[in-house]
Every structure is written in structure tokens, then in C-alpha cells.
Structure 1
């Protein structure tokens, strides 16, 4: 009995009908002729209530439902959740579906209404867009069913406690994956350029053929065989490329629900995939006041999964980042010239100039690409018209901050450091294009 009472709810029609009957009884105090009519309606309502109750509670499992989640969620993207609902009643039911979605979304009234014919199964899909990585816990799935009479509502609850992990945006990774193919690069504004110099690695020794470069004659092989032998080389493709993410407090700043760190993480995953598709070695490093999780650049088949798992677990802290520690790590760990894509953020020129000696030292041994962010909200604010003196002052300060960002980019470039100054939402495509441009120019 208690189990039935827990499932029993009263529909909106019940309350409307009850209000109508109460109003008739109230008016019958002055118009007695309405009293029998009100009494008749009250009896009919009781009869319909019993019939409606019998229809809904006469079958033990009138409604069946299940929730299907993807293996993992993609951070910052819309992820589909599938609900399958089966109506086992012999009549059409109206349903209100209430799903207990994870606490991270901060929604307690997430639901929708639908109609379901007798003996029919329906598949409903809704989308969730997470804004932070981690484990998300789903609660119960509740369905509130009512018959065509609509006086009684029965709740069906399914204990579908499920968890799903939110990983860096692998949907973006798949979206931009086609950029790895050389034939499509020109569609994104990249022109084929003559390579400056050549990066070549030894392939094999072959007999000399007319037309071979005489500079590649292998005199030791000639002495052993008595024949002209030449060294043959192939263009070296497997260059180390590292995504280096600043985990300091400057990366905590939020934009459109995601922190700068999450934008950098999503971009790093996409970039690592593109680099591996291009035959390069992809690696990862993180730093703040200490060197954080990192992995050596390789092109193993499992490398992308390793990068994703490392990106899944990293978080920002509050210390100021130490680029000197990054330089020391690179000198110890990176023996070969590499492309270092450093995701960080500089809000003023002074902050950049404190780190400039370390960036210049890095650029002597590697190709350094510094990626930092425009404040597009500040830019929109600076472009709106000002009408008062205080607004003029605020917009002047905002313009000064924006000017400093451009000044930082120019000063880095003047010191031989590749630079990307981009809006957070454009980070991924800007990073890919810059990487492909560096590859085309033969810097690595």
C-alpha cells in the first residue's frame, strides 16, 4: 500500500475539476438549485477517479524505460543521451519524463512531455553540454504517466544510476582530423611554399646511377666494393612536436563556460591528432611553478590515447608559472630540435617581459610558438559608444589592455618567437593552421 501511495500523484485535471465543484457548492448557498448538480458532479468525479486509478495501477509494469549513455562525453560539445520508453498499457498515455542529470549542470527541473500510443516504443534523444572534465553521476529516471482521463498520475522510477567521464573534446578532434591530409590544406588559406633547407635522414646505400648527386658518394663503400656507391636519403617527417600547457592561475579565466585551460586542452588534443596524422611525433608537457604531467613525443599507435588520459586529469592551480623550470626541463629531456607550442596567457607587457629571457633561450634550440588569448568580451566593451565621463575612462582602460595584447605579440615576434594571439573560440583552427604553415615553410 505504501508503495502505491509513493507512486500516486494527482493530475491537473483533478484540481481543475475539484475547483469547479467547490465553486458550484459555494454558489449553491445562494442558488440552491445548483446543489444537486454539484453533488452529481462530485459523484461522477469519484467514479472517474476510481476508473482512472484502476487503469494506471491495474498493470504492474505499465511503462518500461532505459537510458543509454555514450562511453564518454566530449567537453564543451553537445553529447546525446538516448531514452527508450515502452508503453505496455492498452491505451495511449501522456508522459512527463524527468531525468536526474548530474549535479554539474545545476538543473533540478530537467524534463519534457510526450505522448505514447499503446504497445509502442519511442526513442527520445536530448543533448547535454558539459563545461568541465571529470566524472558525471546520473541519478534515477522518472516517468509520470496519465491516462486519457487525466485525474491520476502514476510515477515510474527506474534506478539507472550511471556514471560517465567527460574527456577533452574528442568531437573537435574528429571534426578537424581531415586537415591532416595535404590535399585539403589549401582550402584553409595555406599556400604551398618552397622549403627552406632540407631535413633528411639516411635510408640506404645504393650503386651510383647517372644523375645521382656526387656529393653523396660513400667513399668507404667504394673502397670495399670497388664500385661507385651513393648514400640515399629520405625526407625526415617524424619531427617532435610538443603541446606545452601552462597550469598557472592565468589559465583559470573563464570564457563562455569553459576556462582557458579547457580551451587549451581541447586544442592540444586536436593538434596532437593532426601531428600524428602528418607523421610527426606528438608529445605533451605541463608546468606551473613545477613541471607537471608530461609524456615523450612519439608516434606509437597508443600515443593519442596516452595524451588524452593525461589531458583528462590536469587542473590549474594558483601559483605563478615558472618558465625557467620549463627551460631546464627542455634542456634535460629534449635532445632533438622540436616544435614547442606553449599555451599560456599574458595580460600585460610586464608579465611577458619577465618570461622573455626564458622564451628566447628556448628559441635558440627549438621552434617556439607562444599561444595566448584575446579578451573578446573586453574588445566588445571597448567598441560600444560611451556617453558619460566614467564610461570614457573605462573604455580607455579597456583599449589600453587590448593594445598591450597586440604589443606583446609584436615584441615576441621581434625576438624570433612564433606567436598566435587568438580568441578562445578560434584557438583550435588557428593552432592547426599555424602548425601546417610551420611545416610547409620547413622550420621543422
Structure 2
């Protein structure tokens, strides 16, 4: 049974059969062709048995290995390398089929190549998951055939490998690397002009050309008989909370990714940047209940805690309770903090229902409400109208787009910071707002 399960007929063999069948038909009119066709039939049978011998005389034949990472990164292109090698003493034709997880819905994966004796090759393909969770890679199937291409032998490797898909680790590392190399402007991060000084005093030092004369410490100058200035540093260890709305409004997908996952990816990348700048970061996820609450801590290892919590967050199909969120924030977050609230409002009436709770949180904390542009509506608005129905659609789309801007103005009039962003630009705009607030000393 093991032999029969691994034995497959090559497509070329059916061409040989078709040619022989054609010769038998032609022999009805050309009798001389009939014995020749029978000879070719026996030759093909002999080659069939010989091909079986060539492929099965080597127990090892071909080996292959799929090198999966420990974690896959959600919404990113993740490379999956496969290394394979032939031990046959002849040129081997390879057809490699990897059974991808059912989440990708891809059933036509195939890679074809050929290998010489003892030759080793590596093949790499990319996968882009759009859901967090556990993904199961099935069999790695390798079909080997000789230059005769009559039969194929199947080799099966690495059955049912499991790998978790976490929030975008690649995106987080990307921004981390750019921050270290001081190239964040390549991705759209802005240089923010500092306004005034923070309140955290560092030291008194001698005046050098270029120092701000407004920082001259006259008492120290009189004692030292030379100009001395106060030196300040950015305030550190300030608590910052990412608050993620997991209600039904965050279920909306753009480019295959839910708004919730955009918010989760942004939270991870932003938390890493904030921790590197010595601030405390925490996490809150809520809908009808407070599903996750991680107190703000200033440890780089705290990022692992945030990552694990983000991995387990799911979207609910209910309206979120902002009153419950306000009560938890009031009770648990006692120090003035920066609150980044990821949510979405499609109608201004929805915003006005929640506005009293947002204003209550903004009295004690610096609240930034982050909500999303509907990029599909924006594409419809920018398209040309060719008939009456398209004009109606564009008019309705413009109404919804205007409401988004009115909601932003409404929040700003009440002193609440806002970010109205496209889903793809969420991380950049969030980090920019964080740098702006720090530079202006609002926290």
C-alpha cells in the first residue's frame, strides 16, 4: 500500500498512450503499422517498469524541508523558504506542492524545477495572512520523475506544522530600525518643532554658543562668575494607554484586513516606539465589557505582555459601552495619561451619543480619538460620473465623507485631539501625533 500510495502516472505517459492509440487506428488502413505499434507498446511497458526501478531503487531519493518561522506577522508578506535536495544519480524533475493553511484559500500552489545529482536548491514563497490565530501547514509533497517522465514518485515531508499569526511584528521592527537609524522621515514621520520647555530639569551647565539665552540661571552665573544655563530634558515615564474598541464598528474590512487588526498593528508598533523613548505603555480593549486591561509599565520586556494580549483580542458584534470605559478609566488610571482611543464613527449622531463620555475622559487626560476614512467612498468620490445612478452614489458618498470631517471638527471644538486617517496610514499618523504631543508638552 505504501508503494501504491506513492506511485503516480506522469502526464507525459498519457501522451504516449494517445500516440499508440492513434497508431492502432491508422493501422486499420495501413496494415504494416499494426506490428510496429505492438512493438512500441511492449517497449513502453518495458520503459514503464524500468522507470519504476529507477525511482524506487533509492530509498532516500529526494529530501525537502520547510523552514517556518516561530511566528507569522499579520498583514505582512512573510517569506517561507523550502530547501530540497536530490540523491538520485540522474537528472531529476521535481514538482513541489505545499499544502497551505485553509485561511489562504489557495489550492493551486506548485513549484517545478529540476535537480542534478546531489544538487541542493532553495525556493522561497510569500504568504500574507489577514487574520490572527493558529495556521496549520499540511504536507510538503515532492513529486520526482526521471528524464523518461513516465511515472512520478511522491515524497511526503513535515506533516501538519502549526504556526501562530501575531500582530504585525515586521511592521514593528521596521519602525524600530528606522528610529535607530534616524530615517523615520522616509515613511512620513514629521519633525516636530519643540514649543517651550518640558518641566523636567536635568542640570546646570556652562553656557556655550547656541544655547537659548532664556535659560540663563542668573543665581548660578553670579556664584560662578560666568554664564550658566539650565538644561532640560524630555519628560520620561509618562503613562500612555492604547484603548481599542472591539465593537462591531471595527469589523469593517479594507484590503482584506479588519479595522481592528489595523488598530492592533498600530498599537504594537507605537508601544515599541514609546517604550524606546522611556514612556510607560498600557493597553485597554473594550466592547460591552472590559476585555483586556494592561497597566502602563516602563520595561522593554513589557512589550511581550502587550503582544500576547493583542494576539487574543477579537471583534465583537455588539455596540461598545463607552460609559463602562469611562468608569474603568476613572477608577484604574489615576495619573494624567495620554489615551489613544481607536474607534470608528460612521454617523455624527453616533459620535454625539458618546461625546459626554469622551469629554469626561478628556478633562483629566490627554485624549486622542482615532477614527478612519472610508477609502472606498473616497475612491468613488474621485471617480468620474457617467450616468445618473453614479451621480446619486457620488452625492451620498460625499455626504458621508463630509460627516467624517464634521465629526473631527466637533471633537476639536471641545478640545479633544483627533486623527482622521486612512487605515494604511494609521501607524504613521499615530506616531506623528504622539511626537507632536510630547514636543508641545501637552502631557
TM-superposed deviation, 1:382: 2.1
Provide the rounded CA distance (Å) in 2 between the counterparts of 1:332 and 1:263: 28
Q: Which residue of 2 aligns with 1:381?
A: 380
Q: Which residue of 2 aligns with 1:200?
A: 200
Q: Which residue of 2 aligns with 1:57?
A: 56
Aligned residue for 2:364, secondary structure, equals: coil
TM-superposed deviation, 1:65: 1.5
Residues 240 and 283, structure 1, Cα contact 8 Å, conserved in 2 = yes
**TM-score, with normalisation over the residues of structure 2?**
0.90
TM-superposed deviation, 1:183: 5.3
- 1:280-359 matches, cutoff 5 A: 280-359=279-358
Distance 1:319 1:68, change over 3 A: same
Distance 1:361 1:181, change over 3 A: farther
Residues 202 and 232, structure 1, Cα contact 8 Å, conserved in 2 = yes
Q: Deviations over 1:393-431 (max 9, x none)?
A: 121111111111111111111111111111111111111
Distance 1:366 1:182, change over 3 A: farther
Q: Which residue of 2 aligns with 1:208?
A: none
Provide the rounded CA distance (Å) in 2 between the counterparts of 1:437 and 1:179: 18
Q: Deviations over 1:218-252 (max 9, x none)?
A: xxxxxxxxxxxxx9986531111111000100000
Distance 1:360 1:138, change over 3 A: same
Residues 198 and 233, structure 2, Cα contact 8 Å, conserved in 1 = no
Q: Deviations over 1:179-229 (max 9, x none)?
A: 54595566646344343463337999xxxxxx75769xxxxxxxxxxxxxx
Aligned residue for 1:81, secondary structure, equals: strand
User: 1:114 and 2:113 equivalent?
Assistant: yes
- 1:108-257 matches, cutoff 5 A: 108-178=107-177, 180=179, 188=188, 190-196=190-196, 198-200=198-200, 236-257=235-256
Provide the rounded CA distance (Å) in 2 between the counterparts of 1:181 and 1:214: 39
Distance 1:60 1:24, change over 3 A: same
Distance 1:213 1:308, change over 3 A: farther
Residues 97 and 109, structure 2, Cα contact 8 Å, conserved in 1 = yes
Provide the rounded CA distance (Å) in 1 between the counterparts of 2:5 and 2:194: 75
Provide the rounded CA distance (Å) in 1 between the counterparts of 2:47 and 2:385: 66
CA RMSD in angstroms, aligned pairs only = 2.2
Q: Which residue of 1 aligns with 2:212?
A: none
Q: Which residue of 1 aligns with 2:225?
A: none
The count of aligned residue pairs is 422
TM-superposed deviation, 1:381: 1.4
TM-superposed deviation, 1:98: 0.9
Gaps spanning 5+ residues in structure 2: where?
205-215, 221-229
Q: Which residue of 2 aligns with 1:96?
A: 95
Aligned residue for 2:107, secondary structure, equals: coil
Provide the rounded CA distance (Å) in 1 between the counterparts of 2:116 and 2:11: 21
Distance 1:349 1:88, change over 3 A: same
TM-superposed deviation, 1:366: 0.7
Gaps spanning 5+ residues in structure 1: where?
205-210, 216-230
Provide the rounded CA distance (Å) in 1 between the counterparts of 2:10 and 2:248: 52
Residues 179 and 274, structure 1, Cα contact 8 Å, conserved in 2 = no
Q: Which residue of 2 aligns with 1:6?
A: 5
Q: Which residue of 1 aligns with 2:258?
A: 259
Provide the rounded CA distance (Å) in 2 between the counterparts of 1:123 and 1:98: 14
Provide the rounded CA distance (Å) in 2 between the counterparts of 1:232 and 1:35: 103
Aligned residue for 1:364, secondary structure, equals: helix
Distance 1:184 1:250, change over 3 A: same
